[in-house]
Amino acid sequence: MARLEKLYSQVENIKEQYFIRNRIAEENRQKENQAAVRIQSWFRGCQVREFLSHLHKKATLIQKIWRGFAARALFRQRVKTAYFIMKMNFYNKMAVKIQRRWRGYYVRKYVHNYYARKRYLEGLTRKNEHIRRDLEEFAELQRRERERITLEKEEKEKSIQAQRLHFLLSTKQVSGESMRHTLCVYILHIFI
């Protein structure tokens, strides 16, 4: 009981200390609250920055993996394209070689066959000589025909001239008026 008595005597003191501590606590509560809020915000900021850093690292890792995958796929595609082009160029070259050999063989065998060409040229030479002879004969015939036609024309003109001038050959005496008439007809014939 003595303790209880002691405690009752100290109740006022305890109350006073309680109120003092409560007042001090109330006075410091705002500061402590602000300090706690500041500590919490700093800690939460550190957590968020760490999380964002973690997300950034993971995003970088994902991007790195994706870009590597895309680059390898693009590289494979380019290699396939280059291989295809190289293969097509090789096939084209081989086709050109085969075509060149075949065309050379064909031309040598059938188009530019030396012996067939020689026979053809010899036959052509004989035919040309025959045609040349025929043409020369034809030209000679035409020349003779032209000469004959000119001779006939000259003969005909001489005959016409002789008919016109026949009165000059006669020994009969012709009267003046008849002579004038004959000369007029002759002159008309010459100019017409």
Number of neighbouring beta carbons within 10 Å of residue 113: 13
Please report which confidence band the pLDDT of residue 89 belongs to, taking 50, 70 and 90 as the band edges: very high
Single-letter residue type at 158: K
Sign of CA dihedral 59, 64, 68, 70: positive
What SS3 class is residue 175?
A: coil
d(CA 64, CA 60): 6
Torsion of CA 130, 135, 137, 142, to 10 degrees: 170
Rg (CA), the chain: 70
3-state secondary structure 21-80: HHHHHHHHHHHHHHHHHHHHHHHHHHHHHHHHHHHHHHHHHHHHHHHHHHHHHHHHHHHH
Question: Tell me, what's the pLDDT at 180?
Answer: 57
Contact 189, 164 (CB under 8 A): yes
Single-letter residue type at 2: A
Percent of the chain predicted with pLDDT > 70: 85
Report whether pLDDT(42) > 80: yes
The listed range with the strongest mean pLDDT (58-62, 153-157, 183-187) is: 58-62
d(CA 151, CA 148): 5
Per-residue pLDDT tens over the stretch 22-37: 888 788 888 888 989 9
Per-residue pLDDT tens over the stretch 143-176: 999 999 999 999 888 888 777 766 555 545 545 5
Report whether pLDDT(44) > 70: yes
Contact 176, 155 (CB under 8 A): no
Q: Which residue has the tokens 């025909």?
A: 145
Question: Tell me, what's the pLDDT at 140?
Answer: 95
Per-residue pLDDT tens over the stretch 132-142: 999 999 999 99
The listed range with the strongest mean pLDDT (34-38, 91-95, 113-117) is: 91-95
